Amino acid sequence: MTILTIARRELEGFFFAPVAYAVGTLFLLLQGITFYLFALVLSSPQSGPGAVFSYFFGGTLLFWVSLLFLAAVVPMRLLAEERRSGTLEPLLTAPVTDVDVIVGKYLGALGFFVSLWFPTLVYVALVRGLGGPIEPGPIAAGYLGTLLEGGAFLALGTLASALTRNQIVAAVLSFVLGFGLLLVGILSVYVRGASPALAHVLEFLSPFRQMQDFSRGIVDSRHVVFLLSVIVMSLFGAVRALEARRWT
């Protein structure tokens, strides 16, 4: 059983679960309301047809609430529910490694995350149809940033799911870890007076600042490396947690 096989199995599990459709409906409803409000406010000719997307990607609290919500709900069942129901042990006895299990399940969750954002491409077509040509660069960078930020939050959720056998506890822990990541940028405001250098570092690590750059079409390689590092370290922690529980 390969990583892709596990990922496909996990992704199919999401689409066969009724709760996944409830999550998807709530998510798309929230994104639709956000897009409509931005389109309404930024409909003046001075704003430009693509201005709505510079705020759509990370420009509101609703964007980050959506990420925290998905990071808490989507990965909570990846390992916690399988461990509680006893279906994880048969999987671990198959010819797969712990890395295969963690990465495969994570990719399945990430695939579901991407499928939720895919319908929002309709908004691009709507803006193009109503306002003429738009700049594809900032929009592509906005989706890239959303993928990386979502990937980082989902990796933290995967780690949380590996640390417990209770889905609710996993969801709460995932929310706390994701919220802690968001606090990095907020803390920069409070430490700026005491330590400008530390404030600069915290601001650079802030997801708010990262998405601000992505939404403007700026793909900073340092942001990409940082988010990929969060993903790798979180999945590494999940692998070690799975290894530790294998022997308990």
Q: What is the pLDDT of residues 131-153, one digit of tens each?
A: 655 777 888 888 999 999 999 99
Residue in this structure with the two tokens 């490396």, named with its chain if needed: 225
Residue 90's contacts (CB-CB under 8 Å, 6 or more residues apart) are none
Is the pLDDT score of 215 beyond 60? yes
Q: How many domains does the chain have?
A: 1
Q: State mean pLDDT over 227-239.
A: 92
Residue 178: the pLDDT is 87
The whole domain housing 105 covers 3-246
pTM of the model: 0.86
Question: For position 86, what pLDDT does the model report?
Answer: 59
Q: Which amino acid would we find at residue 116?
A: L
Q: How confident is the model at residue 6 (pLDDT cuts 50, 70, 90)?
A: confident
Question: Is pLDDT of 47 > 60?
Answer: no
The CA distance from 81 to 187, in Å, is 35
Highest-scoring range by mean pLDDT, 15-19, 52-56, 63-67: 63-67
What pLDDT score does 81 carry? 63
What per-residue string of b and e applies to 18-44 under the rule 16 or more CB within 10 Å gives b?
Answer: eebeebbeebeeebeebbeebbeebee
What average pLDDT does this structure show over 207-212?
A: 86
Identify the pLDDT of residue 150: 92
pLDDT band at 2 (very low <50, low <70, confident <90, very high): confident
Q: Which of 13-17, 72-76, 82-86 bottoms out in mean pLDDT, i.e. has the lowest? A: 82-86
Question: Whole-number mean pLDDT of the chain?
Answer: 80
Q: How confident is the model at residue 107 (pLDDT cuts 50, 70, 90)?
A: very high
DSSP state of 68: H
Neighbour count for residue 56 (Cβ, 10 Å): 26
Q: CA–CA separation, 24 vs 101, rounded Å?
A: 25
